[in-house]
Amino acid sequence: MTVDVIGGEDLTADDDPRHGEIALVPVGLRLRSRVLALGPHPTQRRYSGVPTDTLPPAERDPAQHPVAITEDGVPVGFFALQGGPGAGRLIRGRQDMLLRAFFVDASRQGQGIAPAALRVLPEYLARFDPAIRRVVLTVNTDNGPAIRAYLRAGFTDTGELFHGGVYGPQHVFALSVGPPDRR
């Protein structure tokens, strides 16, 4: 599997025969309509929302950066990165980013796409903004598939529980990124 990141050479990650080339690509005009057509299973909407609701505000907010997960160039998932005060109290400063609205399209789940996308997130961030040192996210305590996918990708449980969500308590997970000597 090769993985594209913004403006750079392809990066090689592990091979997983269940999916094609996974890349992270900023959502621009070229991908926008295809991203808007994606969504998780209806019962999972409470975890991530759907791009028709989450993409437009991310596009309007200069502190957010909408990202498509693509397989062989075709969008199969979505998330947004958010920094700054609007991201909430879990974001401690300029070096932190919140990962939100993350999902893989219902038709492509269970094939290792989320872990593949998350594994290249550090490289993506290094090119997007080298000052970033930590990615933070919240995940509902009853969302086992997402918890496992994040842990597989190297996120760790901070031990904190976030009670600000509408659908129950959420774990706070974090991933250190950037040069190891600067973390």
The residues binding ligand COA (CB under 6 A) are: 40-41, 44, 47-48, 102-104, 109-115, 139, 143, 145-146, 148-149
CA dist 30 to 39, 84, 120, 132, Å?
18, 27, 22, 27
Query: How far apart are CB 125 and ligand COA at their closest, in Å?
Result: 18
Q: How far is the CB of 179 from ligand COA (least distance, A)?
A: 27
Query: What are φ and ψ of residue 36, in 5° steps?
Result: -65, -20
Quote the least distance from Cβ 170 to ligand COA, whole Å. Answer: 8
* Beta carbon nearer to ligand COA, 42 or 180: 42
Residue 180 and residue 125 in contact, taking contact as beta carbons nearer than 8 Å:
no
Rank residues 5 and 104 by Cβ distance to ligand COA and give the closer one. 104
Nearest distance in Å: CB 90, ligand COA: 13
- How buried is 121 (Cβ within 10 angstroms: 0-12 exposed, 13-18 middle, 19+ buried)? buried
Taking the C-alpha atoms of residue 83 and residue 171, their distance in angstroms, rounded to an integer, is 19
